[in-house]
Chain A
Amino acid sequence: EAQVTQNPRYLITVTGKKLTVTCSQNMNHEYMSWYRQDPGLGLRQIYYSMNVEVTDKGDVPEGYKVSRKEKRNFPLILESPSPNQTSLYFCASSVRPRETQYFGPGTRLLVL
């Protein structure tokens, strides 16, 4: 089954404790992206990747890092999480940027 998977689905952590949210797709897509969704603000793009070793900033990249060492994986790293990064995070992938993006199930993060 073609899908985008994210882990963990739920995470509670404390300020400053580094964490990684994994994202994996099995559709051989080149384009992958991370979003955060907050009430009243909608979905905002954090980072995207056009292909392996090619990443670029979205609209809200501060406080986040990403890497793309393999085509199927695109982890999101929070080196020193803060409470304002409490949010619902989605990973997505597509063949190319202008094509349909397929979203993962989401990761709900709470930073205390």
Chain B
Amino acid sequence: EDQVTQSPEALRLQEGESSSLNCSYTVSGLRGLFWYRQDPGKGPEFLFTLYSAGEEKEKERLKATLTKKESFLHITAPKPEDSATYLCAVQERGNNRLAFGKGNQVVVIP
């Protein structure tokens, strides 16, 4: 069973059309949850780290939130340059490995 599940797999948005990406996780104790952005052919680029339920972080048009079972990445009034694959990863307490979800591929149409 996957520890990290991201939905939807793919999303097409009109420029300015706000939406949310979901990352649900099943680890027994969360040490940290990470959001990354990845452009085609490039390495993942760090966006946010969340450590405890209720925590929120914001950067430009992106806002990440965390509950005990899932995280959301809200994209407000997206622009074409927000087109990318967004990756969620979790680290479990007592475990030094990092488990990634399969990503949310976002395309923003002008």
Name A residues whose Cβ lies closer than 8 Å to a Cβ of B.
4, 31, 33, 35, 40-45, 48, 50, 56, 58-59, 90, 92, 97-106
Contacts and interface: CB of A to CB of B under 8 A. Distances in A.
B54 interface: no
Interface stretch (B13-21, B74-82, B99-107): B99-107
Given A42-B102, A43-B87, A90 B44 contact: yes
26 contacts: A31-B96, A33-B98, A35-B100, A40-B102, A42-B100, A42-B101, A43-B87, A45-B99, A45-B100, A50-B96, A56-B96, A58-B97, A59-B99, A90-B43, A92-B43, A97-B31, A97-B91, A97-B98, A98-B32, A99-B49, A100-B34, A101-B98, A102-B46, A104-B43, A105-B43, A106-B43
B96 A43 contact: no
Contact of B44 (A41, A50, A103): A103
A97 B46 contact: no
Contact of B97 (A48, A102, A104): A48
A106 B100 contact: no
B45 interface: yes
A42 to B, nearest CB: 4
B41 interface: yes
Nearest to A103: B43
A33 B99 CA distance: 12
Interface residues of B, number: 23
Nearest to B103: A42
B44 A43 contact: yes
B46 A59 contact: no
Q: Which 7 A-B pairs have the closest CB atoms?
A: A103-B43, A42-B102, A43-B100, A97-B96, A98-B32, A103-B44, A100-B46
B96 A105 contact: no
A30 B42 CA distance: 23
Interface in B29-56: 31-32, 34, 36, 41-46, 49, 51
Nearest to B51: A98
B41 A106 contact: yes
Contacts of B51: 98
